[in-house]
Amino acid sequence: MRISYAWIFNKRFKMLKQKCLQAIWQCSALIVLASLLAFSINYLRNERLHLFGNWAPEARLMDSSGKRLDISLPEAKKLFLQQSVVFIDARPQDDYEKGHIKRALCLPWNEVDRNFMEVTEDISPDTPIITYCDGETCELSHNLAIFLLDMGFSNVRILKNGWALWKEEDLPIESGSSTAGQG
């Protein structure tokens, strides 16, 4: 057999090409296999995930009956000045103590089961409540609002990215745990 550099490289190139083609069809087959398995398992699941979910901001901030839960900053400010609303901070207690909306109560989402009764005992079920946390993608206020609705409070709204917006507008804030309703 005649061997030359060209022969070796040619052979290697051919084999590499063959292997790459093999890898490409295997990748496609893996994706198809995974999709089929995933869809079948999702179909058999009790709580199915919709294949094409509605992720528009309005849809995400709705309760189960389709009512919008979010509230705009001017509206929240108006209610705050009328003193007719209770703000509830859903962030962890450390963040609350560093600074929060004036007169806001502290009910961290991760300790909601423990502190819920204590924090909400003075609030009547039809009192307007606004939950807030910090950041565009923060889910804490949304989770807390759904939880409060489930617990029987009828007028719960969410101020999305509330803490950041409130600070930007230079609206009244305070720090410490004085109005936390808990230790």
- Residues of this chain that interact with other proteins (CB under 8 A) are 1, 3, 5, 8, 11-12, 15-16, 19-20, 22-27, 29-31, 33-35, 37-39, 41-42, 45, 47, 49-56, 110, 135-137, 139
HSE, CB side, 13 Å, CA atoms: give it for residue 153: 25
Nearest approach, Cβ of residue 133 and other proteins (Å) = 11
- Closer residue to other proteins, CB minimum distance, 47 or 170: 47
- Closer residue to other proteins, CB minimum distance, 39 or 122: 39
Is residue 88 within 8 Å of residue 129, measured between CB atoms? yes
Nearest approach, Cβ of residue 81 and other proteins (Å) = 30
Cα maximum dimension of the chain: 95
- Closer residue to other proteins, CB minimum distance, 34 or 173: 34
Is residue 73 within 8 Å of residue 169, measured between CB atoms? yes
CA proximity to 131, closest of 55, 63, 178, 59: 63
